[in-house]
Structure formats: C-alpha cells, structure tokens
Amino acid sequence: MAHQHSHHGHSHGHVDPNAGDARVAWAIGVNMLLTVAQVVGGIFSGSLSLIADALHNFSDAVALIIAFFARKIARRPADARMSFGYGRAEVVAALVNYTTLVVLSVYLLYEGVMRFFEPETINGWMVVWVATLALVVDLITAALTYSMAKDSMNIRAAFLHNLADALGSIAVIIAGAAVILFNWTWVDPAVTIMISIYILWHVKSEIGETIRVLMLGAPPDLDPEEVAAAIEATQGVREVHHVHLWSMQERQPALTAHLVIDADAMSRADGIRADVRQSLMHRFAIGHATLEIEQSESACVGSSRFGHQEE
C-alpha cells in the first residue's frame, strides 16, 4: 500500500509531504496564540461571542494538531499488523475533530441562550480589536492549508474549521460594533448562537463521508452494481459474487470478489483475471483488487452478489 501514497501526494503538483507538515505546524502555532488572545480578551471585555470564537479557534488548533500527527502516521508503510497501512489515521482524526466540535457547539448554544436572560456589560472596542486580529490569523491559516485541503479529508476538515472561524470573527466584529454604536448587548449572545448553529450544520454535512469510510461503505462516486456488471462483461466471466467494494482511505477504492469462469475458459483463467483487473483500473480507478477464481461447476452455491452471507 505504501507505494500508492507517493503519487497520492504529488499527483496535483502539490507541496511535498514535509513542506506540508511545516505549513500545518505554522498554522497550529498561530492558532494557539490567537486562542489565548481571544480568551483573555473575552474575559476582560465580558464578551461571550469572543470566547465562542476562541473555542472555535482552539478547536482549529486541535484539528490541525490531530491532522498533523495523522498525516505523519498515514505515511508510515504497511506492516504485518497493519497490513492495509496507516492511511485511515486521517479518517479517524477527522471523526474525532467533528465529534469535539459538536460538543463545543452545544455548550455555546446553551451559554448563548442563558445570556439572553441575563445580559452582561461588554467592552465593544476591545471585542472589535481582538476579533479583527482573529480574522487576520484565520485568513493566514486558510491560505496555508488551502492547497492541501483538496486532497485530504483530514486537512479539509481543518481548513473548513478555519473558514468557519473567519466568518465567526466577522460576526464578532459586528457584535462589538453593535455595542459601541447602539449599546445593544443582545447582539453578542445572538452571534454566539449563530456561530454554534453554523458549526453544527457544517459538521452534519461533513461527518457522513468520514463515517462511511470507517464503516467500509462503497465510495460515493462508484455504483457497486455498475462495477459488478463491468466485471461480468469481461469475456470468460460467467458471473461474479461475494463482491466487497470499499475505500481503503479517502480516494483509494479497493475491491475483492469471486469470479466464476466458464469451464471451457479455465485454461485462460489468469488472462481473464488480468483483463478484469485492467477494466477495474481503467473504468473505476480501482487499483487494489483481490480476485478469486472459481470454475462454474464447483462455484459457491446460492452465494450473495454483494457481501459474504450465504443463503
């Protein structure tokens, strides 16, 4: 499996993995500093939305830290215990990130609602300055991770955190301005609630893909029936069963199947298997295929087309 990582990283003319690590490391450092600045600012100015944004930024930094180590782990070559390699570390990291975000968002939602009933005085100027600093940092981080986000679910999760952050910072600036201009303290908890709902909505749209990979689901862009039909369209293949189609990790489909070969074609069985492999690679980019040959006379009886349950 290890050999497939190398082209995975370079196929789009991207930075090499180590340069990518350096970018992520910088992004982590900047976000950590920002979190501290926002928490301090939030406490001194009495702004909940600033603390909400700080939590969001902290989740960013944590997302990036997890992403950073997951990238390192994912590049390790396969070994006897981890025969599929370590690529899934990134998928697990993405799931952990999304889960923590849900917890944080629910907490902020609760805090925001409570603030409506007990408003607090807020120092608007301080809020605006700290949130502006946050916005600048978010944009820098987004720039650092943007090109890497295209190829990795893990970095994409971190990148999206960042984008959401930038929007959060803009909202906080508006909340601070509302206090300065109109003395509207209710805008602050309102913004807090908006940030948390936005995070939840975001997680909802992204977490499904992560769970599907971990649950060994078929890749969303491949139709299992179409793949099975393509195998059966290969000359000499009578039928196919026990088809398993899944993603090793993001964008790396794999397949195992039993091919039933016509009795008179058994002498060409190896060639037929090679044809099936070629067809899978060309049509569906399935590079990892394990195919078992069965003779039509002695094929599994009453076997299911997909999965492995006998009837």
Q: What is the CATH number of the domain that holds 174?
A: 1.20.1510.10
* pLDDT value at residue 310: 55
* pLDDT value at residue 16: 62
Residue 236 resides in a domain? yes
**Domain end: 188, 214, 240, which one?**
214
pLDDT tens per residue, range 97-150: 888 888 888 988 898 898 888 777 788 888 899 889 888 888 887 777 777 777
Q: Which has more pLDDT, 163 or 294?
A: 294
Residue 301 resides in a domain? no
Question: Sorting pLDDT into bands at 50, 70 and 90, what band is 309?
Answer: low
* pLDDT value at residue 278: 93
The CA-based dihedral angle spanning residues 174, 179, 182, 184, taken in that order and rounded to the nearest 10 degrees: 90
Average pLDDT over residues 168-196: 87
- The alpha-carbon radius of gyration of the chain (Å, integer) is 26
Average pLDDT over residues 47-59: 78
Average pLDDT over residues 69-93: 85
Q: CA 68 → CA 78, 90, 93, 166, 207, distances in Å?
A: 19, 9, 10, 21, 19
Residue 183 has pLDDT above 50, yes or no: yes
* pLDDT value at residue 231: 93
Residue 274 has pLDDT above 90, yes or no: yes
Share of the chain above pLDDT 70, in %: 91
Long-range contacts for 21-24 (Cβ within 8 Å, ≥24 apart)?
21/68, 21/71, 21/72, 23/144, 23/145, 23/148, 24/64, 24/67, 24/68, 24/71, 24/144, 24/145, 24/148, 24/155, 24/158
Reduced to 3 states, what is the DSSP secondary structure of residue 258? strand
Q: Note whether 201 and 239 are same-domain residues.
A: no
Q: CA 303 → CA 242, 308, 309, distances in Å?
A: 7, 8, 7
Helix (H) or strand (E) holding 244: strand 237-247
Q: Note whether 251 and 273 are same-domain residues.
A: yes
Residue 14 has pLDDT above 50, yes or no: no
Q: Note whether 266 and 147 are same-domain residues.
A: no
Residue 311 has pLDDT above 70, yes or no: no
Q: Note whether 149 and 29 are same-domain residues.
A: yes
Q: Note whether 235 and 187 are same-domain residues.
A: no
